[in-house]
Structures are given as structure tokens and as C-alpha cells.
Chain A
Amino acid sequence: MAAAAKAIKFAYNGALANNLRKFTWNNLWGGREYGLLFHDTYFEPAPEVTEALRRLNLQEPHLFDQRKIRLSRAHTLALHGEKLPKAEWTQYENETWYLKPYLDEIEAEKKARAESSGLIPPYQMKQH
């Protein structure tokens, strides 16, 4: 399971950055007691994230479904004012930053667009 997290490359990968990441994930983010992964709580209405989720659904529908189930369970818990028992909280070792590859690709595409035609991508165009 740690292998899934290890496959993701962050911009800062030193010891300090990794420790800081682990500390913030454990203490400053509130998702683990609801059984969520970090990218479950990413700001969905942002165009890049919406597009990344659309691509996740198309390419890895299984992961998209699992995300949906985690969110549904978390929302039910929050609705009742409950949290999971400590043993069932998400562990840092099981964290997969599953949207990162898609987000990176979208950023690369934005850069490529800016360097070439300069047109904005379709998912950023205003929906009428």
C-alpha cells in the first residue's frame, strides 16, 4: 500500500517536506477520522479538479467508485454527527494521492496550450 504513495512524485521530496506532509496530513487535515483520502476532499468545483475527476472516471472507474463510496460513508457519518472508531481511521501509509497524476497532466496541458495556440481548454470555457 505504501508503494502506491511512493509512486507519486511531489515537487518537494526531501526529509523535511515528507515529515511536514505527514504531520499536516495527520494533524491539520480532518478527513482521516471519516475514512477519507486527501484527494476526496479536494475542492471539486475547481475546473482542473472537475476535469481530473472526469478523467479518473473514464480511465480508472474503480477508483472513482471507491471514492464515491468513501464520500457517501463520510457524509452519512457527518450527518449523524459521528466519526469512525480510531482503529478504522485512514492510515498515512494507505494514502494514495490518486488525483495527482491527472492534475499534473492538466497543468502540463495548460502550459502546452499557453505555449502554443494560447486558447483556453474546453473545461475552462464558460458553461452556458
Chain B
Amino acid sequence: MKTSIVTRSAAATKAHASKNLSTKLSNGLQVISKERSGAVSQLVLAFRAGSRYQSDKQSGLVHHIRNFVGRDTSKYPGISVVWSSAAIGANLTSFSTRDVFGVQMTVNRDHTDTALSILGHVASQPAFKAWEFEDVIPSVKSDLAFKNSYDYVLEGIHSAAFRQGSLANSIYAKRGEIGIYKSDDLNGFASKHFVSGNGVIVGINTNSQSLQHYADELLPINDGSNVVLSESPYKGGDFRRSGKGNDAHIILAGNGAAINDTNALAVQAVFLSHIGRVSPLKFATLPGLSSGLSKLPFGVAGSAFHASYEQAGLVGVYLLANGENANAAVKSAFNILKSPKIEDLEGSKRRAIAEIETNYADGANEAIQRAIIALGKGPGRNALIESIKKVSASDITQFAQKAFAKPSLASYGAISQIPYVDEL
């Protein structure tokens, strides 16, 4: 689909200095465009339609919706959609978190307009035809088969921390829930959530004028207002699932910062950089000597963990222990988290800022991150960095006290020695 403003070749990236854009249209759709001078455009159309919006009777619905991307839309058959995106060399993927569901296309910059036209139909006008279920259901089954240990504890920590709240809803369908949804169920959810007031369209390395023109006039999205959020406050609890082998995968978490709370996010970022993340280097297992996790017992690997959602969040550590040292690992990790002894506050702050900047420089998931932040009304990179610079040691100790007053613990594997949360 060509508009009057089309970037034709790589030379255009040098010629046109495309402006950055961040607006909200009259129908409520947010439009974000960022110029990174890259050759690959990342396009995301995302909605507040994650698993937290499932009702009690809709457990596993978003998993089915996610796996339906690439099938028939209301106007074009799935074959055409997938073939045309392949013809322009685009990658078409769907993603969902607890807050957000979206579709991403990454494509060579020259073909952004065609990719946008495909993306609009795929994300906002899925048809969920009744005869395609038999093709989609095996893909849901294979998603479950590919879940690894970390996925189990990740789902477990949410179910432990948020108990019966909507944030405890898993992004995966349970085995018994596969295939129980019909066309009407999916269509009902889509008509409520895939609307302009609930969505954002993000373009990285696209021409911002053509993105705005597309979003204004050509995007086939239904009008609608944003969906009201139901509260899902942090509660705290246990999740245990035994598994084969001697490994114990553990997430110990507390009440973290919500995505729209800049100050809390800043304090949390410094706290976590003190706690330490596993090194990205190949043979290094432990974070640095001055980090919190260096105090873990020998043989236990740990890495900081956090998850931020609208109005709630989790913060903690992910531990990999074995059957014998799991008890000591959890107790020691809890002490590290609850009373962090920060020796080098400035260093932690700088590492936190460096992490944000490195993430920004990487850019592989930038479109998705921007979409999630826009939908959750989260802070931009600069605002967060400014906030981090102002964090003090007392902020962190207060944050840690408050967060781990009622901790949550999720474990999978050799769990016989792992204490319950009220024993900590």
C-alpha cells in the first residue's frame, strides 16, 4: 500500500531526517515513531489485551488469540497475509504479556508501507474462523511442550504473589483448557480489546509522517474506548511444583514497582543493580563481588528478577540451586533482599543507568518495549535516568523493607528442602 510519501532506498535514511513522534489520535490510538537510523524497521501494533483481562472463565484465552496470528483476517485470507509478508522479507510475530498483546513486524526499511498495511489487518481484524481451530490447537500444545523450568516458576511466582487477582492469570493455557474456546469467545474478547482507545502503534526506523498518515486514515481498526483495569494488588504466597532431577528453580519476590511509578522504578533499578544480575559473559556465573548476590552460598547461581505491570509489580531474585542447598539459598537470598547492605551506591546507580543505556543501544526489542511503556503510561528513558540519579540509600532500604514485608516464593524441581514463605 503506497502513500504519497515513500522512502525508496537506503540513501533515503541519510537524506530524510525523520522526526520522532509521540501523539494520541482523536480515536484514542497512540502513535509513536522513533528514528534510529537503522536499516530495519520495527513495527508494533499492541493492545491492552494481556492475560490479566481474561475473566475467570476465560483462562488460557489469550494464548489461543496469540497463536491465531497469521490466520485469516476479516478481509484477507491467512495465506495472503503470510505470503505477502514473506515476499517483502518481513518477520511477523505475536507476543503477549500479562498486560499487553501485540503483533510485531520487522522488515527492511524500504517495505515499511506494505508491512504496515499487513500489520493493521493482522493485529486489529483477526477473524478467528471456526475451521482454523484444528490448525491452531496443535501449536498451543507445542507451546506448552516447549515451556522450560524458568517459565514454570515465572508463572508460579505470579500465581503466588497475586493469588486470585487477575495478574495471576497465566499467559499459557493449561492442558485441559486447550481447544475449549470457540470463535465467539475469541471474537468477543477481540471486539472489546482490539480497539483504538486501547492500542498503540509503534514504528522504529520508519518515516513518522507515513506512520501517522497510516494510523490516521488507513488503519482498519475499530473505534472504542480503553478498557477499565481491575485491580490486582500484591498479596504474597507460595507456589511449589515438584519436578524430576536435582535442580531447584526458585523465584523469591516481593512487591515491586508498578510501570507508571517512575520514582519507585528508579529505586527498584538501583536496588536490583546492587543485587546483581548474572554476567552476560560466557563462563561467568555470579554477579560481581560487591553485589548482593555474592553472599549466596557456594554453588547457588542467582540473578535479579523484576516484572512491572500496570498498578502492580514484582521484584526479587531467580535462584538456581540444587536439592541440598536450596534451603540455605532461599534463606540467604531473603536476608540479602530484605536488608540490602549497599557498599557502593554510586556504583549501583551507574550500573543501573548503564544497563538502561545498553538496552537502548541494543534496540532489538525496542518497539515492543516502547509499546508496553506507552500502554502502561510508563516513564521514558531519560525520565527514568534522571530519577535514578536522585535515589538515596535510605530510599533503597525503605523500598526493600516494604517490598519484602510479605514475600512470595515459587519453586520448581527438587523442592523438598525449600522453606515456605512464612518460615522466612
Contacts and interface: CB of A to CB of B under 8 A. Distances in A.
Interface stretch (A12-20, A23-31, A33-41, A109-117): A109-117
Chain B's interface size range is 10 to 19
Contact of A116 (B80, B130, B183): B80
B131 interface: yes
A55 B83 CA distance: 23
A116 B131 contact: no
Contacts of B79: 109, 112-113, 116-117
A108 B79 CA distance: 11
B131 A54 contact: yes
Interface in B326-362: none
Given A58-B130, A115-B80, A116-B80, 10 more contacts: A58-B131, A59-B130, A59-B183, A108-B77, A109-B77, A112-B76, A112-B77, A112-B83, A116-B83, A117-B79
B129 interface: yes
Interface of B: 76-77, 79-80, 83-84, 129-131, 133, 183
A48 to B, nearest CB: 13
Contacts of A116: 79-80, 83-84
B367 to A, nearest CB: 27
A117 to B, nearest CB: 6
Interface of A: 54-55, 58-59, 105, 108-109, 112-113, 115-117
Contacts of A105: 77
Contacts of B130: 55, 58-59
Contacts of A55: 129-131
A108 B76 CA distance: 9
Contacts of B77: 105, 108-109, 112
A108 B83 CA distance: 15
B96 to A, nearest CB: 25
Nearest to A119: B79
Q: Which of B76, B80, B129, B131 has the most CB of A within 10 A?
A: B131
A121 to B, nearest CB: 9
Q: Which of A105, A108, A116, A117 has the most CB of B within 10 A?
A: A116
B80 A59 contact: no
